[in-house]
Structure 1
Amino acid sequence: MTAAELSALLPSLLPRLWAFALRISGDQHDAEDLVQRSCVRALERAHQLEPGTAPLSWMFSIVQSTWLNELRARNVRNRAGMEWDDGFLETVPDPAARTPEEQVMNGQIIRAVQQLPEAQRIVMLLVAVEGLSYSEAAEVLDVPIGTIMSRLSRARQAIGALFNDQKKEKRAKNAEHSKEMGA
């Protein structure tokens, strides 16, 4: 693919690239810079986009590697404690969230995904949010498909465990409240 062909295609990819960059960086300004640097890198390397490779998958790969390079440059070792910006919900609307309960649940899911280790979080975003197949995600991250399946399984288990713990805490509080009311 030529740089001219890619530059004609990039505008249609920008919304998904920006949403992905926002999810992995957790910051609007970082996401904007990340997309810009990734687009420049892609245009410089357009000739490396092999026939048969989906341009969106290729761009996700560039965004991911650019972000990793940025993290290394910042000497960031562990992002798990970083706060998630819930404000992104206003910029990336979810048309399926129609009730306040659904909005609360979506916020809880976002926070749970944000707590995942980086490798699991990226796989979860690529497969569950961006809709990439396992093989496409493996190609984006340059890992075997079994690694994608393993990371996704562990991510789902971690999120499930988090929600199970929350249910148990809620039941315990309700039982305690009922006991206090009955006494």
Structure 2
Amino acid sequence: MSSEAVRREIVQYLPRLWRYGLVLSHRRDIADDLVQATCVRALERAAQFTAGSRMDSWLFSILHSVWLNEVRAQLIRRGQGFVDVDELSGAGNSEDPVWSNEVIRRVNRLPEAQRNAVFLVYVEELSYREAAAVLDVPVGTVMSRLATARLTLARDSALQPEAPPRKGERS
């Protein structure tokens, strides 16, 4: 596919790419940078796109790769082996309904691998096979991550706040 053809098609995927960038980075400015880098790389590598395949899956794969490269670069710059996702988190939108904030809060507590699988399959509606290709893992791994995420979210939503221990009881 020519870079001009990719340029014409890519426009319709920008909001979805930005949303995935936000899921990964938790910051609007970083999501913007990720989308820009994804578009540049897609245009540079337009000939690598396989006609008849899903452009959104290809673009998500590129964005995911750009994100991993950015995380690695941060690790090298900081001289650390770990980047805390809380350092990258941005402020939530206060106009969201309370239930939506609660769902997002619970999903954000999932490990990154599970969170990414949940987003790609349930929000972006990629198939398990497509999500596996984006994340560069086997299909079974995506299925396992989703099953674990569903169990965690179900258990989390079933938990009720505990009553404080009564005087004389052990906590």
Report TM bin, short chain.
0.7 to 0.9
Contact in 2 for aligned 1:80/1:114 (Cα 8 Å): no
Q: State the alpha-carbon separation in 1 of the partners of residues 30 and 104 from structure 2.
A: 18
Structure 2 segments unaligned to the other structure (5+ residues)? 76-80, 167-171
Contact in 2 for aligned 1:80/1:115 (Cα 8 Å): no
Structure 1 segments unaligned to the other structure (5+ residues)? 94-102, 177-183
* Amino acid in the other structure paired with 2:62: I
Classify 1:79/1:120 alpha carbon distance in 2 versus 1 (closer, same or farther; 3 Å): farther
Summarize deviations over 1:16-57 as a string: whole Å, max 9, x none: 111111111100000000000011011111111112320011
* Amino acid in the other structure paired with 1:31: A
Deviation at 1:4, TM superposition (A): 0.8
Summarize deviations over 1:124-143 as a string: whole Å, max 9, x none: 11011111111111121222
Residue 127 (structure 2) aligns with: 133
Q: State the alpha-carbon separation in 2 of the partners of residues 152 and 79 from structure 1.
A: 22
Residue 68 (structure 2) aligns with: 68
Moved over 6 A (4+): none
Percent of counterpart pairs with the same letter? 44
Deviation at 1:78, TM superposition (A): 4.2
Classify 1:160/1:127 alpha carbon distance in 2 versus 1 (closer, same or farther; 3 Å): same
Q: State the alpha-carbon separation in 1 of the partners of residues 72 and 23 from structure 2.
A: 18
Deviation at 1:66, TM superposition (A): 0.6
Deviation at 1:73, TM superposition (A): 0.7
Q: How does 1:75-90 map to 2 (within 5 A)?
A: 75=75, 77-82=82-87, 83=89, 85-87=91-93
SS in 2 for 1:153: helix
RMSD across aligned C-alpha pairs, in angstroms?
A: 2.1
Classify 1:80/1:36 alpha carbon distance in 2 versus 1 (closer, same or farther; 3 Å): closer
Residue 98 (structure 1) aligns with: none
Classify 1:41/1:142 alpha carbon distance in 2 versus 1 (closer, same or farther; 3 Å): same
Q: TM-score, normalised by structure 1?
A: 0.79
Structure with greater helix share of residues: 1
Summarize deviations over 1:99-144 as a string: whole Å, max 9, x none: xxxx222111101111111111110110111111111111212221
Contact in 1 for aligned 2:121/2:128 (Cα 8 Å): yes
Contact in 2 for aligned 1:18/1:35 (Cα 8 Å): yes
Q: State the alpha-carbon separation in 2 of the partners of residues 38 and 85 from structure 1.
A: 24
Q: TM-score, normalised by structure 2?
A: 0.85
